[in-house]
Structure 1
Amino acid sequence: MALQYQDFLLEEFRSRRTRNPHYSLRAFARDLGMPASKLSQNLRGLCGISVAKAEQIATRLEMREDEKLLFLTMVESQHARSRVARQQARNALQRLSEEKLDELKLEKFAVVRDWYHMAILELTDIRGFKPDVAWVAEKLGLPESLVRQAVERLQALELLEISGDGWKQTHVDMELEAGLPSRTIREHHKQVLTKAIVAIDSVPAEKREYSSQTMTLDRRYVSELKTMIREFQRKLSRVSHQGEPDSVYVVGIQLFPVVEADEK
């Protein structure tokens, strides 16, 4: 089935629910600037939205220009006033979909965006792992329905193999085409940082490490620092899976300016 703009909205809603389980459809409607009843009907295909409204939604969701173009074209293909305009949009959508998003890419983006996909894969390698959705959900503190969807997604992308012998991470490199939405990556970092904030109070100090350093820097050396960070991450990867793994950890590193240089 061809990807529809409602799929984008549903994925965005699910993503926000992942960060905040109490986030409701009413809150999502508020953030999109539309009545909750209207949004509910729209997601069920009972009513449409105008292109003008779609532009407002794209702005509120901070879509890139290419994402926005695809989103608006999807809306036009369903809800343009004339049959000719709808057909023109469908033709344009076919051209765009060949070089932009399809359903498989959207699934890949979800794996990159939502922290628990990688956590599930890593969990399969720890001592005492149980190949059971309920067990995984309890370990990760997630609803079983969310874990089940994630497992199905990982299977579809051939990142997780399920057989009579259990669950096995395939370690297959996931090809991510150019054009991965920047907001997908931003959302991933937000989720990880949110987990880190919670862990400050919920995880004993002996099981975690938090540190930060504030320093002056010539911005010409930022790229060198980024290279050093990536090299450190590669060293960390070499430690992973050594011995008998019994835990899943996240290591997050941030580098950002608090005072930026004046433009010359």
Structure 2
Amino acid sequence: MTKKHHYRDYILKELERRQRKNPSYSLRAFSRDLEVPCSRLSEILNGKVGLSESRAVNLASKLNLSPSEQEFFVDLALSEHARSAVLREMAAQRVKAREEAFGKIGEEQFAVISDWYHTAITQILLLKDFDPSVENIAQRLGLSQDIVEKALERLESLKLVMKTPEGRWVADDGKYSSTYGGSSEAARSYFLQMQTKAVEAMSADNKRRWDMGCTMVPTNRDKAKEVAQKIRQFRLELMQELQDCEDKDSLFALSTSFFEMTDLQTH
């Protein structure tokens, strides 16, 4: 399989991004920030040495990559350098599946669909009296400023946000949502991330407002299809009611789950 991407591309892109912000930023400074010896980083970038899984994971966390990009970065490294042939093949298959998704909906679109904070950024821009600076967005959403800057670049390239002549970020489409996407893997990644955010909201030391419930009930599979459709309609109506309110001052997530608990019996 010929890969369209390489993990070295992500390292070089981040180096270039930092050098654009600071022209005096050097490879030595980059190696220091990545906690990789400069000589070893040079060898990695020149293709003289590869990456172990542990080093790939460590690097991915320091390159300000989104969660989906971190997974892809590690898989790219494993597909070349994993010691086990089985692990290399498994990683190669995941790389292939993701690159096929890139081909269908585009790499930037895939990133926007996969990672929760892209939607959050477009929606937080709609809050009343909110100063949409990178610093404020990062603080309100609990993100690093680097991640916010990258997300805004992606969103701007898709015309989902824009920068006014005064330098303020505004949402181009207030009804943008990542709920549905052209890739099942992207949708799966998005929902898993939102489930993690729900768990964080319920932590004992978290002061955010939350209201969640869970009920198990026996029913018929055909009836379940009808209920699923009612849930979708209810969600759309409720979201419209929330969006129509004035003086928006906070960002909430509405999440509904309806899934089968038992395996289908075979006769």
> TM-score scaled by structure 1?
0.64
Residue 210 of structure 2 is matched in structure 1 by 208
CA distance in 2, matches of 1:196, 1:120: 17
Aligned AA (2:185) = R
CA offsets 1:170-203 (integer angstroms, 9 cap, x no match):
1188799x99332221111111011101111244
- Mapping for residues 135-154 of structure 1, pairs under 5 Å: 135-154=136-155
Residue 121 of structure 1 is matched in structure 2 by 122
Residue 264 of structure 2 is matched in structure 1 by 261
1:49 correspondence with 2:80: yes
CA offsets 1:78-133 (integer angstroms, 9 cap, x no match):
xxxxxxxxxxxxxxxxxx7xxx6349711111111111111111111101211210
CA distance in 1, matches of 2:236, 2:225: 17
User: Would the aligned equivalents of 2:116 and 2:193 in 1 still touch at CA under 8 Å?
Assistant: yes
How many correspondences in the alignment? 205
CA offsets 1:176-231 (integer angstroms, 9 cap, x no match):
9x9933222111111101110111124458x3211111100111222212211110
The 10-residue stretch of structure 1 (149-158 or 165-174) with the greater mean CA deviation from structure 2: 165-174
Aligned AA (1:55) = E
Deviation at 1:48, TM superposition (A): 8.4
User: Would the aligned equivalents of 1:3 and 1:103 in 2 still touch at CA under 8 Å?
Assistant: no
Deviation at 1:239, TM superposition (A): 1.3
2:249 to 234, 240, 246: 246
Root mean square deviation of aligned Cα:
4.0
Specify every segment of 5 or more residues in structure 2 that has no aligned partner in the other structure, as ranges: 12-33, 36-50, 60-72
Aligned AA (1:140) = L
Q: Describe the shift of the 1:9–1:67 C-alpha distance in structure 2 as closer, same or farther (beyond 3 A).
A: farther
Aligned AA (1:152) = E
CA distance in 1, matches of 2:78, 2:185: 27
1:67 to 97, 112, 130: 97
> TM-score scaled by structure 2?
0.63
Residue 81 of structure 1 is matched in structure 2 by none
User: Would the aligned equivalents of 2:127 and 2:249 in 1 still touch at CA under 8 Å?
Assistant: yes
Residue 188 of structure 2 is matched in structure 1 by 186
Q: Secondary structure at the match of 2:202?
A: helix
Aligned AA (1:208) = W
Residue 92 of structure 1 is matched in structure 2 by none
- Mapping for residues 29-44 of structure 1, pairs under 5 Å: 34-36=52-54
CA distance in 1, matches of 2:191, 2:229: 19
Aligned-pair identity (%): 22
CA distance in 1, matches of 2:118, 2:165: 22
CA distance in 2, matches of 1:218, 1:170: 43
Deviation at 1:232, TM superposition (A): 0.9
1:167 to 146, 166, 169: 169
User: Would the aligned equivalents of 1:3 and 1:102 in 2 still touch at CA under 8 Å?
Assistant: no
CA distance in 2, matches of 1:227, 1:128: 37
Q: Describe the shift of the 1:194–1:215 C-alpha distance in structure 2 as closer, same or farther (beyond 3 A).
A: same
Q: Describe the shift of the 1:214–1:104 C-alpha distance in structure 2 as closer, same or farther (beyond 3 A).
A: closer
CA distance in 2, matches of 1:158, 1:173: 13
User: Would the aligned equivalents of 2:132 and 2:170 in 1 still touch at CA under 8 Å?
Assistant: no
Residue 224 of structure 1 is matched in structure 2 by 226
Q: Secondary structure at the match of 1:233?
A: helix
Q: Describe the shift of the 1:173–1:200 C-alpha distance in structure 2 as closer, same or farther (beyond 3 A).
A: closer
Q: Describe the shift of the 1:46–1:209 C-alpha distance in structure 2 as closer, same or farther (beyond 3 A).
A: closer
1:234 to 205, 211, 236: 236
CA distance in 1, matches of 2:189, 2:10: 15
User: Would the aligned equivalents of 1:137 and 1:147 in 2 still touch at CA under 8 Å?
Assistant: yes
